[in-house]
Amino acid sequence: MATLTAGFAARRGDEIALIDEAGETAWAALDARVNRLVNGLRARGLTAGDTLVVVAGNCREWFEIALACCHGGWTYVPANWHFVADELAYLIEDAGARAVIADHRFAATVAAALADPRARAVSLVVGVADAAGGGLGELAGDGRQVAYEALLAEASADEPAEQRLGGPMFYTSGTTGRPKGVRGMLSGGANLPPEVMQAVAAGVAQMVPPSGRALLCGPFYHSAQWAFTFLPLLAGASIVMRHRFDAAETLAVIDRHKVTNLHLVPTQMKRLLDAPAEARARFDGGSLVGVWHGAAPCPPGVKRALIDWWGPKITEYYGSTEGSIISTISSEDWLAKGGSVGRPSPMVEAIVVDDNGGRVSDGGEGVLYFRNLSGAGFSYHNDAAKTAAAHLEPGVFTTGDVGRIDADGYLWLTDRKIDMIISGGVNIYPAEIEGVLNEHPAVADVAVIGVPDEEFGENVKAVVQLREGVAADAALQDDLRAHCQAKLARYKAPKSFDFIDVIPRSAAGKILKAPLRAPWWAGRDRRI
């Protein structure tokens, strides 16, 4: 049996491990399919240390692939399924992928990427078909392609020999340039047994109870969604998943499947609050034990409203793909502290650094750096310069955020350094303004950016997505400005407002500010 699933297969073989829109998989069947996948990929030429790129939506096969890589010693790269062919071809080349696994939903993009010369090192293409067995087309028309179920059918279900730890390499964009892979201890290729991953899962299980069911309602290619579902699976939780997020359906799924744990991003939290009244009225939520949120700042009004509705079971975390979870804060502490992201974990040292590289004390503000006291670190794949730039010294890394630590040891985020607006020599932090504007009843979403100003260098602009049916007129602009001036110093209030249909956000829920800034800063000296 596969090491990570053997115990559950033996003790709970008939119990359900995975549930998606197409069906269910029990623990014993999952164990057998993972064995077959490891043996099948080995038979097709993959060896420990190789890298796979996976282009798949939220489905049971994704968890099988991740488990197989954990046992085969392979690094798997979860590809953003929104990528176009050029981006995917870059990812395949940069990761050094020897294999690509893709599901039917993204067949056309994958086929185009595989035709790119940058994908020439790929020697195996595995296609995951839809429930009817179709939809893939010719992912690779040169003999490299095999169907996922055919690969499993031709392989042995016997326990694979010489199991060796593999794991994910997530790509993160940062502030400039192409995405870069984040390599850590679990990325694959290390001569470690798979039980190491079980130990990591045990640590997460202290925060996410392993009994019950976790709901995956965001993209599995995002590191947080992976951590809050795949790691609980290794600790014995079963996973319910949906490929797309729909607020009303999410409420129904929680009750139908007795979901105990889920991870949300702020956009999802707001959409749940805005769900149709009948869906909210039907929702019971009695099974929920832990609700985690992070990845982007949450407007205080949104968070308070969800706590009022669901109770104090909502925990916020602060972290990054590079640094994992850095700090956490409970509902009770957040309400008392009014916006902190909590105390750093006992395994994390937090350091505040000024612009000259000196340590800041006594609650002063600066760039945040962190040290993992376990010795765990990271590097950027194929980018030593970016790795060096992210570190103050060996083992001490930054998330790029500006913040402070108060007298009680609580961490406060002011903003990302790249987002800071400097107007007349005064630092203005957009997150504060966004939080205020998000409380206005006309606002569905908002991004605050700095735009050129001949006198002050920059001034504040709010780019606003309005709620349905709200008219974007001068009276509304005056009302929004007055709303900000009532809650913020006047110099922080936006000087202008633009209205757009949708605020661009990443799958992790982060606002994509570069495309919003770009038209204003074209040809000017400003970090986009």
User: Is there a contact between 41 and 132 (Cβ–Cβ < 8 Å)?
Assistant: no
Residues of the chain with pLDDT under 70: 1-2, 173-177, 185-211, 415-418, 424-425, 524-528
Give me the residues paired with residue 499 across strands: 464
Distance CA 229, CA 26 (A): 16
pLDDT of residue 258: 96
User: Is there a contact between 223 and 325 (Cβ–Cβ < 8 Å)?
Assistant: no
Distance CA 238, CA 223 (A): 19
In degrees, to the nearest 5, what angle opens at C-alpha 44 toward C-alphas 38 and 49?
60
In degrees, to the nearest 5, what angle opens at C-alpha 283 toward C-alphas 281 and 284?
120
CA 51 to chain centre: 21
Smallest Cα–Cα separation from 122: which of 103, 155, 94?
94
pLDDT of residue 415: 64
pLDDT of residue 226: 92
**What is the longest distance spanned by two Cα atoms in the chain?**
72
Smallest Cα–Cα separation from 520: which of 474, 434, 446, 459?
459
SS3 135: coil
What pTM was computed for the model? 0.82
Amino acid at 15: E
SS3 346: coil
Sign of CA dihedral 303, 309, 311, 313: negative
Report DSSP letters for 270-291, one per residue: HHHHTS-HHHHHH---TT--EE
User: Is there a contact between 417 and 402 (Cβ–Cβ < 8 Å)?
Assistant: yes
Domain 3-164 classification at class level: alpha beta
Provide φ and ψ at 226, rounded to 5°: -60, -50
Smallest Cα–Cα separation from 51: which of 79, 74, 80?
74
Distance CA 391, CA 378 (A): 10
pLDDT digits (tens, 9 = 90+) for 423-455: 866 778 788 889 889 989 999 999 999 998 877
Distance CA 53, CA 49 (A): 13
Distance CA 113, CA 140 (A): 10
Q: Give domain limits for the chain.
A: 3-164, 340-419, 421-521
Distance CA 290, CA 169 (A): 27
User: Which one is the CATH code of 421-521: 3.40.50.2300, 3.30.300.30, 3.40.1440.60, 3.40.190.10?
Assistant: 3.30.300.30
Buried b / exposed e over 283-309, threshold 16 CB at 10 Å, is beeeebebbbbbbebbbbebbeebbee
pLDDT of residue 522: 80
Smallest Cα–Cα separation from 73: which of 182, 136, 161, 171?
161
Rg, Å, the chain Cα set = 24
CA 178 to chain centre: 17
CATH 2.30.38.10 is held by the domain 340-419: yes
